Amino acid sequence: MKSSVVIMGVAGCGKSSLGRLLAQTQHMTLIEGDDFHTPNNRAKMAQGIALTDADRAGWLEALAQQLIAHPQGVVLTCSALKRTYRDRLRQACPGLHFAFLEISREDAQARVQARAHEHFFATTLVDSQFATLEVPSHEPGVLTLDALLPLAQLQHQVSQWLRTLETV
């Protein structure tokens, strides 16, 4: 059985890119967390309105249900900014692992700006992402990665980490 892993971090850190590559190389299902936002939440973010815990509750529940529906292991992309959000996902999937893509505010802002023409997330929300972020580095089952490393290197690091977890 493969372990499920959440690729997490603030907007612009590379969750989707790493998630796609990791799922492909590990032959796992990819669940793109952004696909589960409600139309109302998408509209709020497009208007530059930060989501509240209440806004995120239904989204996190939908993602938790996806984890439950895929006991064979998945790669899930999800910001998972607060420990309570991560704990909700852990409840749904005991033993869930998190790969945290750490990035500076400036680099995240630049990346979000560069994709503004193709993504619903408003560039003005990057600051709110950092304000909400509770860094998970000291939580169990978390691998912290430098989001600026080449994508192939990040994928290799996560794949190696998951292999070591499967042998424990």
pLDDT of residue 168: 59
pLDDT value of position 133: 96
Average pLDDT over residues 123-142: 90
C-alpha to C-alpha distance for 74 and 58, rounded to whole angstroms: 20
- In sequence order, which residues have a C-beta less than 8 Å from that of residue 166 and are 6 or more positions away? 2, 3
State yes or no: pLDDT of 165 exceeds 60. Answer: yes
At 1 the pLDDT is: 47
Q: What's the pLDDT score for residue 86?
A: 97
Q: Is position 119 within any domain? A: yes
- Give the model confidence (pLDDT) of 81-113 as tens digits: 999 999 999 999 999 999 999 999 999 999 887
* pLDDT tens string 28-72: 999 999 999 999 988 888 788 888 999 999 999 999 999 999 999
Q: Model pTM?
A: 0.92
Return the CATH number at 11. Answer: 3.40.50.300
Q: In what order do the strands lie in the sheet with 29-32?
A: 29-32, 74-77, 5-8, 97-102, 142-146
Is 50 a member of any domain? Answer: yes
Domain that holds residue 39: 5-103+113-166
Looking at residue 124, what is its pLDDT? 72
User: How much of the chain, in percent, has pLDDT values that exceed 70?
Assistant: 93
pLDDT at 122 over 70: no
Q: Is residue 108 part of a domain?
A: no
Domain count, the chain: 1
Question: Does any domain span residue 88?
Answer: yes
Tokens of residue 135, six digits = 């860094």
Q: What are the CB-based long-range contacts (under 8 Å, 24+) for 54-62?
A: 56/85, 59/33, 60/85, 60/88, 60/89, 61/88, 62/36
For CA atoms 164, 158, 128, 122, the dihedral sign is negative
List, in order, residues 6 or more apart from 125 with CB less than 8 Å away.
11, 45, 48, 50, 112
Tokens 């696909």 locate to: 35
120 within domain boundaries: yes
